[in-house]
Amino acid sequence: MKLNRRAFIGTGAAAAAALQAPSVWGAAHGRPKVVVIGGGAGGATAARYLAKDSKGEIDVTLVEPSRQYYTCFFSNLYIGGFRDLSSIAHSYGTLASEYGINVVHDWATGIDRDAKTVTLAGGAVLPYDKLVLSPGIDFVEGAVPGWDLSTQHKMPHAYKAGSQTELLKAQIEAMPEGGRFAMVAPPNPYRCPPGPYERVSMVAHLLKDINPTAKILVVDPKANFSKQALFEEGWAKHYPGMVERIGPDFGGENVSVNADEMTVDIDGVVEKIDVCNVIPAQKAGRICELAGINEGNWAPVDGHTMASRMDESIHVLGDATNQGDMPKSGFSANSQAKVAAMAIRGDLTGSKVFPAKFSNTCWSLIDTDDGVKVGASYQATDEKIAKVDGFVSQTGEDAALRKATYEESLGWYAGITSDMFG
Provide the binding-site residues for another protein, judged by CB under 8 A.
Answer: 49, 53, 331, 334-335, 338, 342, 352, 354, 357, 359, 361, 373, 375-377, 379, 388-391, 400-401, 403-404, 406-412, 414-416, 418-419
CA angle 169, 420, 226 (to 5 degrees): 55
Alpha helices for 174-299 (secondary structure H): 195-210, 228-238, 286-291
Q: At what angle do helices 330-349 and 399-421 cross, to 10 degrees?
A: 30
* Residue whose CB is less far from another protein, 103 or 416: 416
Q: Min. distance of Cβ 266 from another protein in angstroms?
A: 38
* DSSP codes of every residue in 65-106: S-SSEE-STTHHHHHHTSS-GGGGEE-SHHHHHTT--EEE-S
* Residue whose CB is less far from another protein, 321 or 336: 336
Alpha-carbon distances of 284 from 114, 322, 341, rounded to whole Å = 22, 9, 20
* Residue whose CB is less far from another protein, 117 or 329: 329
Q: Min. distance of Cβ 52 from another protein in angstroms?
A: 10
Q: Min. distance of Cβ 339 from another protein in angstroms?
A: 9
* Residue whose CB is less far from another protein, 45 or 76: 45
Q: Min. distance of Cβ 51 from another protein in angstroms?
A: 14
Q: Min. distance of Cβ 319 from another protein in angstroms?
A: 17
* Residue whose CB is less far from another protein, 163 or 349: 349
Q: Min. distance of Cβ 76 from another protein in angstroms?
A: 18
H-run or E-run covering 63: strand 59-63
Q: Are 62 and 102 in contact (CB under 8 A)?
A: yes
Phi, psi of 203 (to 5 degrees): -65, -45
**Close Cβ partners of 56 (under 8 Å, ≥ 6 residues apart):** 31, 100
Q: Are 70 and 161 in contact (CB under 8 A)?
A: yes
**Close Cβ partners of 410 (under 8 Å, ≥ 6 residues apart):** none
Q: Min. distance of Cβ 336 from another protein in angstroms?
A: 11
* β pairing state of 59-63 and 33-37: parallel
Alpha helices for 273-318 (secondary structure H): 286-291
Q: Is 283 exposed, middle or buried (0-12, 13-18, 19+ CB in 10 A)?
A: buried
* Residue whose CB is less far from another protein, 264 or 372: 372
* Residue whose CB is less far from another protein, 265 or 347: 347
**Close Cβ partners of 190 (under 8 Å, ≥ 6 residues apart):** 137, 279, 281, 282, 328
Phi, psi of 309 (to 5 degrees): -70, -10
Q: Min. distance of Cβ 352 from another protein in angstroms?
A: 5
* Residue whose CB is less far from another protein, 158 or 420: 420
Q: Min. distance of Cβ 47 from another protein in angstroms?
A: 14
* Residue whose CB is less far from another protein, 5 or 352: 352
